Amino acid sequence: MSQEIIQKIERLRSRRRAIILAHNYQPPEIQDIADLTGDSLELSRKAAETDASVIVFCGVAFMAETAAILNPDKTVLLPRPEAGCPMADMITADDMKRVRAEYPDVPIVTYVNSTAAVKAESDACCTSANSIRVVGSFENAATVYMAPDQNLARYTALHSAKNILHWHGYCPFHHALQSEEVLLRKQEHPEALFLAHPECRPEVLSLADRVMSTSGMLRFVHESSHISFIVGTEVGILHPMRRMNPGKEFHAASKKMLCPHMKKISLDDVCLSLETLEPRISVPEDIRVRALKAVERMLLIS
């Protein structure tokens, strides 16, 4: 049955002049049919560069919104619009306005894991791959405010001379990883390198051999001479790691690091979206234009 659905998706993709983008945390079968898999930065770039008429975004809502911000003339589809991001929901545009009022002269750098309305209140966006460079780009600012992820802000502060203030949000699934679990995995696999995502707690990051984005992890494990890795990010990334590196071993730092929102989209959902060109994701123009400035600054710095 799945092969029939895949063939139907292929026909519809061609007929609709569509491109399918999938985040590294998506289910294996979704990653396998995608034109491109990647992290937020890679997918943002692809969304900005594509000449496709339709973008099917297999991820969560803020990612599809970012594609719509960059491509107002294209049809952007999110097969399951209820697929959200708990971290993105931890801050609102009104919260950002209050931050701006409290710190009127401080640049605000917002993690791309945020709603379009929140991006619109920002000076620049960033990803886990480029947060240090984005913060550093505000050369005349001694202090920068980062939202919504407290852990990414703390990690960035360790690698920046700037004073970094931050919102109190977090990713529940990265934040759930405890240092005790990491130490246990290290005992079980003493030969393994521990890779951690910047959304993890500071005490977890202090145990890491490398701290990097998901795409950074994928590149690193492919190029590394090591054969065993403990992976401190959402478990969906284990699929491309194992597919690309059949001779290497990958161990999840914790089975708790599973985001149910990233697992909502099925092949049937993708097929139905291509058939109906729904559900469409759009951003009100006044919000889109302001959010675009923040996203474009991120892309220029990257």
Residue-by-residue pLDDT tens, the chain, 302 positions: 589 999 999 999 999 999 999 999 999 999 999 999 988 778 877 877 888 999 999 999 999 999 999 999 999 999 999 999 999 999 999 999 999 999 999 999 999 999 999 999 999 999 999 999 999 999 999 999 999 999 999 999 999 999 999 999 999 999 999 999 999 999 999 999 999 999 999 999 999 999 999 999 999 999 999 999 999 999 999 999 999 999 999 999 998 999 999 999 999 999 999 999 999 999 999 999 999 999 999 988 86
Domain with CATH 3.40.50.10800 in the chain: 2-84+262-282, 88-170+288-301, 177-256
Classify strands 193-196 and 75-77 as parallel, antiparallel or unpaired: unpaired
Structure token digits, residue 98: 């209050």
Whether domain 2-84+262-282 has CATH 3.40.50.10800: the reply is yes
Secondary structure letter of residue 61 according to DSSP: H
Q: How far is CA 48 from CA 21, 69, 116, 124, 133, in A?
A: 12, 9, 16, 16, 20
> How far apart are the C-alpha atoms of 200 and 196, rounded to whole Å?
7
Bridge partners, residue 229, by sequence: 193, 250
Of the candidates 296, 286, 282, which has an alpha carbon nearest to the alpha carbon of residue 126?
Answer: 296
| Residue 48: alpha-carbon gap to chain centroid | 16
pLDDT at 1: 55
> How far apart are the C-alpha atoms of 158 and 167, rounded to whole Å?
17
pLDDT at 5: 95
Q: What is the 3-state secondary structure (H, E, C) of 68-93?
A: HHHCCCCEEECCCCCCCCCCHHHCCH
pLDDT at 301: 82
- pTM for the full model? 0.94
Are 92 and 114 a contacting pair, CB within 8 Å? no
Whether domain 177-256 has CATH 3.40.50.10800: the reply is yes
pLDDT at 302: 63
Whether domain 88-170+288-301 has CATH 3.30.70.920: the reply is no
Provide the greatest CA pair distance for the chain.
59
pLDDT at 112: 94
Q: What is the 3-state secondary structure (H, E, C) of 167-201?
A: CCECCHHHHCCCHHHHHHHHHHCCCCEEEECCCCC
Structure token digits, residue 61: 């809502």
Cis peptide leading into 148, omega within 30 of 0?
Answer: yes
Q: How far is CA 191 from CA 186, 194, 206, 238, in A?
A: 8, 10, 18, 18
Are 165 and 131 a contacting pair, CB within 8 Å? no
Query: Which stretches of the chain are DSSP H helices?
Result: 2-16, 28-33, 40-49, 61-70, 93-102, 116-119, 131-136, 150-158, 172-175, 179-188, 202-205, 214-223, 238-244, 267-276, 285-301
pLDDT at 43: 83
